[in-house]
Structure 1
Amino acid sequence: MKQTLIGQSSLFLAVLDKVSKLAAIERPVLIMGERGTGKELIAQRLHYLSKRWDKPLVSLNCAALSEGIVDSELFGHEAGSFSGATGKHLGRFERAEGGSLFLDELATTPSSVQEKLLRVIEYGEYERVGGRKTLHSDVRLICATNVNLLELAQQGAFRSDLLDRLAFDVILLPRLQQRRDDILLLAEHFALRMCQELALPLFASFSAQCQQRLLEYAWPGNVRELKNVVERAVYLNPDPAQPISEIIFNPFAGLNEVGNTENPSPSQQDIENSTISLPLDYKHWQQTQDIQLLKQALQHAQHNQKNAAGLLGLSYHQFRGMLRKYKMV
């Protein structure tokens, strides 16, 4: 399913405006941002708004490959250049000829590869691994990183001359937490797509409580994390005709408690050890106890209502009924 750039916050719109201006300029571009902020989508926009739009856009995640493999994948290799090289291999630069090459996780590239990248940028020349023939390249380089390359260069961990060539201009992507106006817009977009994937007839929106939790969450994983959280909420929603009332931020929550039955339940201990002063208003006391238990269970389950129901030995629908009874939803 094709991904798109969505947002209306001032920071996001400023980024899109800058991308539109840079797309027309035949210079390398450096994209910096945390994981999950959409660096690859920005690279795609740069390419398809440029005059190279009808030529190849080739990508490579540099962090996924070892030093020798990165070299070969970028520049290609000749037959017999190393063990297992039974034939000539075209590198990403050759495959991207006339178009754009997107290099993600640039900071992980070894020094030898950085030196070759510098030569391609300066002279448009490179050689295949194990080859002697100089090849010429007409490729626009778009690079991305989630670390501060300026600091790495100052520490000697990244070539400063390569950084100078790449940084004709730098696109800085904001964190999702800085794009508060976009959170609910993106959440609804991902929810609608998930409903289509599940063949659901409609998306009944998020409850007001869920919307508030989405807005207040820090989103360390940025847009990618938001997508996972929303899609999880849609498929777990027991009644698609009703607004989503549960949000699970951490699917691993409660992992350590699974199977732990060494201690009696808090409710049992409370019953055995508590002292009640009589006379009392039983209905008011029972309501107070129920609400307190519901709140404790929700807090312990990180507001996962299904898990909270299990903690109290209730079915999900029984638990939901109690929440409605005490107007907690």
Structure 2
Amino acid sequence: MHQNLVGQSSAFLETLERVSQVAPLSKPVLIIGERGTGKELTVDRLHFLSPRWENVLVKLNCAALPENLLETELFGYEPGAFTGAGKRHAGRFERANGGTLFLDEIASMSLRLQEKLLRVVEYGEFERVGGDTALSVDVRVVGAANVDLPAMAERGEFRADLLDRLSFDVITLPPLRYRKSDIPLLAEQFALGMTRELKRDYFAGFSESALAQMQAYGWPGNVRELKNVVERAVYRAAADEQIVEFEFNPFDSPWRPGEKDSAASDVQSSEAVSEGPTERTPLDELPHDFKAHIREYEQNLLRRALEQNRFNQRRTAQMLGLSYHQLRGYLKKYRFTGKQKPPQEAGAGSG
């Protein structure tokens, strides 16, 4: 296996015990969990702890293919079954004979294909597309989903009889937010892996504040998100620099495009078209140039915060409720470096 399941929390250890108990059997199993919780790694463990470990483990993401291609990938096809079918093709069930077939995102499968899958799970028989000969296989089917399959069955979106057949045992993986004690272990593993990839001599470690940030964060993307966040922090830090903070959202930027920006651009375009020699009514209680006023306010706030924190940018960002990279973006926006006052932008006094 390319990765190992790592953890010591009670929720994680109970899950591993469930996997170990059901692994020796040839019964179907469902793996349920949020994205990034390690469903594929769990299937790897299930297969390699089973008597089938010497045989093949075949994997297929059901959501990655349209219905007609998914059908031929699962069951194969005979020559002439459709245009371009020049020779016989063995499907995943044939290739997994004697081993394990992992069907990820099984909830995305159409009801028609679910019916064909039910026959294989129940009787071990199927026919290739375009064929009329029943083929027998010995395959252990493991399905995975990140949705509520019983609720889908109640709505008629998933076959209840197939759900009954697949759910000999159901292993539900705990989200990372319920595995708090596992977060430092996983983070260190990912950090060391990234350190080796960067060909650095050692990893300087995490600060107490960094560990606290990881424990406080909700991790909607679970272990996969943790891996991305930690590896991103390691590669951005200097080789001998301890990790003191994380960027949890790599899309977070003062220049991030979005609906608000598009709407603002549309408004500005409309104003530019409709501008004319009309007179403005003076309003002493309001700034005469809104944008210039906002720019001046932001620059003054940045300068004061930097001075109070002795120009330490990380402490300044924390004081202002910004990430380090957001602060760097604002400093770049105003061309502000060193300890001098931020220069006024060109045309700061114009609208």
For the criterion TM > 0.5, the same-fold answer is yes
Residue 65 of structure 2: aligned partner: 65
SS in 2 for 1:112: helix
Residue 210 of structure 2: aligned partner: 210
Q: Does residue 269 of structure 1 match 2:272?
A: no
Q: Does residue 247 of structure 1 match 2:224?
A: no
SS in 2 for 1:102: strand
Residue 177 of structure 2: aligned partner: 177
Cα offset for 1:268? 2.9
Going from structure 1 to structure 2, the CA distance change for 1:266 and 1:97 (only over 3 Å counts) comes to: same
SS in 1 for 2:255: helix
**Cα-to-partner distance string for 1:173-216 (whole Å, 9 max, x where unaligned):** 01111111111110100000010111010011111111111111
SS in 2 for 1:89: coil
Residue 42 of structure 1: aligned partner: 42
Q: Does residue 119 of structure 1 match 2:119?
A: yes
SS in 2 for 1:86: coil
SS in 2 for 1:68: helix
SS in 2 for 1:73: helix
Task: Work out whether residues 100 and 140 of structure 2, in 8 Å CA contact, stay in contact via their aligned partners in 1.
Answer: yes
Letter in 1 for 2:212: Q
Cα offset for 1:25? 1.2
Residue 19 of structure 2: aligned partner: 19
Going from structure 1 to structure 2, the CA distance change for 1:252 and 1:299 (only over 3 Å counts) comes to: farther
Q: CA RMSD in A?
A: 3.0
Going from structure 1 to structure 2, the CA distance change for 1:67 and 1:60 (only over 3 Å counts) comes to: same
Letter in 1 for 2:252: A
Correspondences of 1:173-322 after superposition (within 5 Å):
173-237=173-237, 239-254=238-253, 256=255, 263-264=291-292, 268-269=296-297, 288=308, 297-298=317-318, 302-303=322-323, 305-312=324-331
Work out the CA distance in 2 between the residues paired with 1:315 and 1:201.
36
Going from structure 1 to structure 2, the CA distance change for 1:184 and 1:124 (only over 3 Å counts) comes to: same
**TM-score of the pair, normalised by structure 1:** 0.85
Cα offset for 1:299? 6.7
Correspondences of 1:16-165 after superposition (within 5 Å):
16-165=16-165
SS in 2 for 1:308: helix
Cα offset for 1:22? 0.4
**Cα-to-partner distance string for 1:288-311 (whole Å, 9 max, x where unaligned):** 4868997674476742x2441342
Work out the CA distance in 1 between the residues paired with 2:9 and 2:306.
47
Going from structure 1 to structure 2, the CA distance change for 1:318 and 1:25 (only over 3 Å counts) comes to: farther
Task: Work out whether residues 301 and 308 of structure 1, in 8 Å CA contact, stay in contact via their aligned partners in 2.
Answer: no
**TM-score of the pair, normalised by structure 2:** 0.80
Cα offset for 1:245? 2.0
Going from structure 1 to structure 2, the CA distance change for 1:126 and 1:265 (only over 3 Å counts) comes to: farther
Work out the CA distance in 2 between the residues paired with 1:243 and 1:271.
30
Cα offset for 1:85? 1.4
Letter in 2 for 1:16: L
Work out the CA distance in 1 between the residues paired with 2:241 and 2:338.
17
Going from structure 1 to structure 2, the CA distance change for 1:244 and 1:85 (only over 3 Å counts) comes to: same
**Cα-to-partner distance string for 1:238-283 (whole Å, 9 max, x where unaligned):** x22121123111111015358x9x944857337889xxxxxxxxxx
Letter in 2 for 1:153: A
Cα offset for 1:102? 0.2
Task: Work out whether residues 309 and 316 of structure 1, in 8 Å CA contact, stay in contact via their aligned partners in 2.
Answer: no
Task: Work out whether residues 93 and 137 of structure 2, in 8 Å CA contact, stay in contact via their aligned partners in 1.
Answer: yes
Task: Work out whether residues 177 and 219 of structure 1, in 8 Å CA contact, stay in contact via their aligned partners in 2.
Answer: yes
What is the number of residues matched between the two proteins? 306
**Cα-to-partner distance string for 1:103-136 (whole Å, 9 max, x where unaligned):** 0000000111111111111111000000111100
Cα offset for 1:312? 3.2
Q: Which has the larger Rg?
A: 2
- Runs of 5+ in structure 1 lacking a partner? 274-283, 320-329
Task: Work out whether residues 253 and 302 of structure 1, in 8 Å CA contact, stay in contact via their aligned partners in 2.
Answer: no
Task: Work out whether residues 305 and 316 of structure 2, in 8 Å CA contact, stay in contact via their aligned partners in 1.
Answer: no
SS in 1 for 2:37: coil
Task: Work out whether residues 180 and 215 of structure 1, in 8 Å CA contact, stay in contact via their aligned partners in 2.
Answer: yes
Task: Work out whether residues 306 and 316 of structure 2, in 8 Å CA contact, stay in contact via their aligned partners in 1.
Answer: no
